[in-house]
Amino acid sequence: MGKNIIVTGGSRGIGKAIVELLASEGNSIVFNYNASSTSADEIVEKIRANGGQAWAFQADLSKFEAAETFINQAREAFGGTIDGVVNNAGITRDQNLAMMTPEEWNSVIDINLTGYFNVTRNVAMDLMKSQGSLVNITSVSGLIGIAGQANYCASKHGIIGMTRAFAKEMRKVRINAIAPGFIESDMTAVLDEAYLKEMKKQIPMKRLGKASEVANLASYLLSDKSTYITGQVFTIDGGMTA
């Protein structure tokens, strides 16, 4: 029997791949989007056309009250337990330190880190009741420093610390993090081709990862095949940080 799973930032990139894979496996999915309403509607229609169950709601998860409303919408849509959550919503506002504005710093921290707290805080009791699984999408940027990404690195490193702390607090909930490297997505699509070519030289597998590969790992961590794994960070980067 499928599970009831929430995915944040599910209308594009890695989040979209996770939503579509989980739905194809028979799970019921609620996901949020911030601005990509057309894409969100298309994903829901596609899943329902294939016999699955999915709902999409607009929510700015950097706001605690908006996250609370979103989780309430998910509870109502599912009409039952919440078995899993994937915190994935995130943004970049890359800038060198000397030029970075407070708005660029705060917006990344608010969405990438505080947004994860807002969702987890509002869904914590549901997951403890169901003894479910929480997957936080972080980044190799949270493991290594990347020039021009101090705000993004800080947010992703914070997610790793938060994951490990929550795993020790919520003892019957499996809480893990996935740290993707360079993955084909909207974020990497805007990068300079020469820069990407140089980055591929530093990746032992000599290519960017696919969103579907991250989705496969998320599916495993949400499934009953990973019932003794918690508090871990799984790097999926083609060997870049090996």
Per the annotation, the verdict on 152 as an active-site residue is yes
How wide is the angle at C-alpha 152 spanned by C-alphas 147 and 155, nearest 5°? 135
Give, for all 242 residues of the chain, the pLDDT tens digit: 699 999 999 999 999 999 999 999 999 999 999 988 999 999 999 999 999 999 999 999 999 999 999 999 999 999 989 999 999 999 999 999 999 999 999 999 999 999 999 999 999 999 999 999 999 999 999 999 899 999 999 999 999 999 999 999 999 999 999 999 999 877 677 777 887 888 898 999 999 999 999 999 999 999 999 999 999 999 999 999 98
Distance of alpha carbon 163 from its chain centroid, rounded? 12
CA-CA distance, 200 to 206, in Å (whole number)? 5
The reported pLDDT for the residue numbered 1 is 67
Q: Tokens 């820069």 appear where?
A: 195
Task: Tally Cβ neighbours within 10 Å of residue 154.
Answer: 18
pTM assigned to the model:
0.95
Sign of CA dihedral 40, 43, 46, 48: negative
The reported pLDDT for the residue numbered 50 is 97
Do the strands 28-33 and 4-7 form a parallel or antiparallel pair, or are they unpaired? parallel
Query: Do residues 5 and 25 touch, judged by C-beta distance below 8 A?
Result: no
- What domains, with CATH codes, occur in the chain? 4-234 (3.40.50.720)
Given 152, 195, 220, 228, which residue is catalytic?
152
Q: If you count them, how many residues does the chain have?
A: 242
